[in-house]
Amino acid sequence: MAYKKGLGVDWYFPTEKRAFAHSTVATSDLITVLSEQYLTTKDVYNAINYDDEAKEIVNKFIQKGYGNYLFRDFVHTNSKLIYRKIENGEIIHIALKDLKKHLDKVVDSQLKVISTEYVGRYNDTTVYDVSIDYKGNRELITVEKKSLDMQEPNSKWEVFSDLPLTNGEKKYIVQAVSKKLHIVSIEPPPKKYEDFSNEEFEM
């Protein structure tokens, strides 16, 4: 559910009184338009390409168990408090009081960090190759940590990928890398040189 508050919009789950997110009106308008063009919450999520704020809000509904519900019922006026869901190929109607009985079981997040490899350090930037499971597919992305002298915080993390990752997903990836989970150094071992300083050579 979305309700305007000041210059923005507060977002609520149907059975809860506390807002779980706040967005701009532009983001709310985008979500509303997509809810009219696409059917389920998952469909709307997959249709969002450039608005990270919108993607995070819709993903909250998915993680709550509303992935297979008709998302327009959450963004349009719903005076009858009846919500529609696709279940076993059919659309069923669910009253507000019965929503919790029909939530989708969310087993795992759609994003998991599989492994992280330290690539190297270039000037003030440390580079990692990160393997992730994203929506069931294994993907490789790049994460960089740039040191910032005389600043607070003293470093800046960036995630580089063509995937439509939300800010929350990027934050999760950075946390996994910063904790050095499964990090394996792939730097070549230092080259060893023999010491010939005390040896004599025949001319």
What pLDDT is stored for residue 194 in this prediction? 45
Query: Quick one: pLDDT band at residue 198, thresholds 50, 70, 90?
Result: very low
71-88 tens-digit pLDDT: 999 887 767 788 999 887
Beta bridge partners of 166: none
Count CB neighbours of 170 within 10 A.
Answer: 19
What pLDDT is stored for residue 163 in this prediction? 86
Segments making up each domain of the chain, as ranges? 2-102, 111-185
At position 42, the amino acid (one-letter code) is K
78-127 tens-digit pLDDT: 677 889 998 877 889 999 888 888 887 654 557 888 888 889 888 889 99
Query: Quick one: pLDDT band at residue 144, thresholds 50, 70, 90?
Result: very high
Q: What is the mean pLDDT of residues 164-169?
A: 80
| Residue 5: pLDDT over 60 | no
User: Which of 6-20, 21-35, 68-82, 157-171 has the highest average model confidence (pLDDT)?
Assistant: 21-35
Give the residue with greater pLDDT, 16 vs 190: 16
Count CB neighbours of 53 within 10 A.
Answer: 19
Residue 105 burial (CB < 10 Å; 0-12/13-18/19+)?
A: exposed
Predicted structure pTM score: 0.53
Give the residue with greater pLDDT, 107 vs 28: 28
Name, in order, each residue with C-beta under 8 angstroms of 55's C-beta and a sequence gap of 6 or more: 45, 48, 164, 166
